[in-house]
Structure 1
Amino acid sequence: DIVIVTAGLPRKPGMSRSDVLDANLEVVRGLTADIMRYAPDAKVIMVTNPVDVLTYAVWKQTGWDRSRVFGLSGVLDAARMASFIALETGFSIKDITTMVLGGHGDSMVPMSRFTTINGIPLDTFLPQEKIQQIVDRTRNGGAEILALKKTSSANDSPAAAVATMVDAVCNNRKRILPCVAILDGEYGHSDLAIGVPVILGNRGMEQVIELQLSETEHRQFQESANQVKKDLAGVS
């Protein structure tokens, strides 16, 4: 069984994902108790924001193996990045592979160095200035949608991203996807939930994949991890 948790207070224009933490933490804790009671063998995919913190909260409350509790983040952010690249280059989105690490928020780390178009590095087609604009737009993709919708946050793109994750688990695809995972020494962190590339299969989050980061990428990832830790400090 897979339980997908989406319940919670949505962001409003001007709010960050962290701004809804207190209200959504209370909601998710109640749901987690029900999951433990009625679906004790399930895997949990967290969608409710702030997803990094709430993935961690569910993992702690259940006491389950980290393979069974993981969250939506990079699958959605990477899809947005790919769509922006497709719009800019005119190439099919089916040929674009992207990777986004870090917290699901303003501190996320879109990885242009690991982004390709049919295996060809992105900087073959776009100058660095344009790539940076795409990186910035990816970081602010959720806020951009929120500003347009006014009263609710994104729906369709998160649903499509979750469907990708569910397909990978239910059909044992062994797909490499960026998701919120509990780290256990990877990337120099433990006891932390944050977006990293993982293998998704029928056992859930089966493995965290450690990328060799450049000095700049490592610094950006650490800054993102520090932001998630700051939010986690408010979770008792």
Structure 2
Amino acid sequence: MIKPRTVGIVGMGHVGAHVANSLLLQGLADELYLCDIDSVKSASETQDLRDSLQFCPYNTKIIDCQDRYEELAGCDVIVNAAGKVSLAAGNRDGELFFTTDACRTFANRIVDAGFDGIWISISNPCDVVCTEFWHLTGYDPSRIIGSGTGLDSARLCSQISLACNLDPKSINAYMIGEHGASMLAAWKSASISGKPLAQLADEEPERFAFDLAEMEDKARQGGYVTFAGKQCTEYAVANAAVRVVAAVLHDEHAVMGASTLMTGQYGEEGIFTSLPCIIGRNGVERVMELDLSQAELEAFHASCQHIRDNIGRLTWW
């Protein structure tokens, strides 16, 4: 028999609902398990998604689990989208206590029920939440993946593409470190068609020589540009998460920015943060270390320290 591809989502707010919709439109899940502490919200999203199946490429079984988290134990992948975005209106760390408290209500319940799939966490602050998942459950950290700076890397490539009139998928550039205010662009390793961006700037300055600091800040602040007009971010972050889901379900061995446990990279260990990772069926297979300038390396260490500082604010640790 062919095993159905099963995906669970915890938290059916703006992002969780868009994750579910994107999974349906891409035909990635055969079964979709939806959880939310608001049973009315959970039921309404389930109904709306079921009603849209007529317009999706494949049929999908959609189950409303409400807060019965144990029902997600058989999933291949669970996406954690539990959060309260209004708390982050003025500070990327604003959801710290809300999201970590939320983790404690479901993480162990799901793992203790027998879950052995892949966790993908979107909830912010992403790196702290992933680190908490690891400490709470003792789960294999390579099977806990934070969406991290995968989204911010997409924002960076988008800004570069606007500046030099190229398809953003043709640009190889990463934001690394914390998914938050301390993230940084790894400019020394940025390239287009295998050619370093710095070299292209020398060869064709009218097209490729732009203000790196301004470009990096646009990538860093992109979420707040989105938030300013509609009080949430939803499409890009949901699609970033679904891209990771696809890499896992299809065992792609795809390289993408993601938050993962540091085990000595650049001398950092014991926390989750973002670097390019190879992702497949078993989660993070390998962490790729980029060639960083001295300034970039110092900024990366400072970003990791900010994550540690936030972890230190959690009184139960």
Same fold (TM over 0.5): yes
Which stretches in structure 2 are left out of the alignment for 5+ residues?
1-75, 201-206
Q: Which residue of 1 aligns with 2:258?
A: 179
Preserved CA contact (<8 Å) 1:13 1:146: no
Preserved CA contact (<8 Å) 2:88 2:95: no
Partner Cα distance (2:291, 2:257) in 1: 15
Among 200, 203, 209, the residue aligned to 1:127: 209
The aligned amino acid for 2:213 is Q
Q: Which residue of 2 aligns with 1:193?
A: 272
Residue 11 to residue 182, structure 1, CA distance change in 2 (3 Å):
farther
Q: Which residue of 2 aligns with 1:55?
A: 130
Between 1:109-118 and 1:138-147, the stretch displaced more is 109-118
Q: Which residue of 2 aligns with 1:76?
A: 151
Between 1:51-60 and 1:12-21, the stretch displaced more is 12-21
Q: Which residue of 2 aligns with 1:147?
A: 228
Q: Which residue of 2 aligns with 1:105?
A: 180
Higher relative contact order (CA 8 A, sep 6+): 1
Percent of pairs identical after alignment? Answer: 28
Between 1:30-39 and 1:191-200, the stretch displaced more is 30-39
Which stretches in structure 1 are left out of the alignment for 5+ residues?
none
Task: Count residues with an aligned counterpart.
Answer: 233
Query: 1:126 Cα deviation (Å)?
Result: 2.4
Query: 1:14 Cα deviation (Å)?
Result: 4.3
Residue 202 to residue 143, structure 1, CA distance change in 2 (3 Å):
same
Partner Cα distance (1:7, 1:162) in 2: 13
The aligned amino acid for 1:126 is F
Q: Deviations over 1:119-165 (max 9, x none)?
A: 23333242252x2211111111112211122x32x110011111211
Preserved CA contact (<8 Å) 1:5 1:48: yes
Q: Which residue of 1 aligns with 2:71?
A: none
Residue 12 to residue 66, structure 1, CA distance change in 2 (3 Å):
closer
Among 205, 210, 215, the residue aligned to 2:284: 205
What's the secondary structure of 1:40's corresponding residue?
Answer: coil
Q: Deviations over 1:72-126 (max 9, x none)?
A: 0121111111111111211122311211110001110111222222223333242
Among 138, 159, 162, the residue aligned to 1:87: 162
Preserved CA contact (<8 Å) 1:101 1:109: yes
Query: 1:8 Cα deviation (Å)?
Result: 1.2
Query: 1:39 Cα deviation (Å)?
Result: 4.7
Partner Cα distance (1:39, 1:170) in 2: 19
Partner Cα distance (2:127, 2:213) in 1: 25
Q: Which residue of 2 aligns with 1:32?
A: 107
Q: Deviations over 1:18-69 (max 9, x none)?
A: 1111111111211212321345212101100010000000011110111111
Partner Cα distance (1:119, 1:212) in 2: 14
Preserved CA contact (<8 Å) 1:182 1:193: yes
Between 1:163-172 and 1:8-17, the stretch displaced more is 8-17
Preserved CA contact (<8 Å) 1:101 1:178: yes
- Which structure has the larger Rg? 2
Partner Cα distance (1:79, 1:67) in 2: 23
What's the secondary structure of 1:18's corresponding residue?
Answer: coil
The aligned amino acid for 2:249 is C
Preserved CA contact (<8 Å) 1:8 1:28: no
Partner Cα distance (1:77, 1:219) in 2: 19
Preserved CA contact (<8 Å) 2:186 2:292: no
Partner Cα distance (1:99, 1:148) in 2: 26
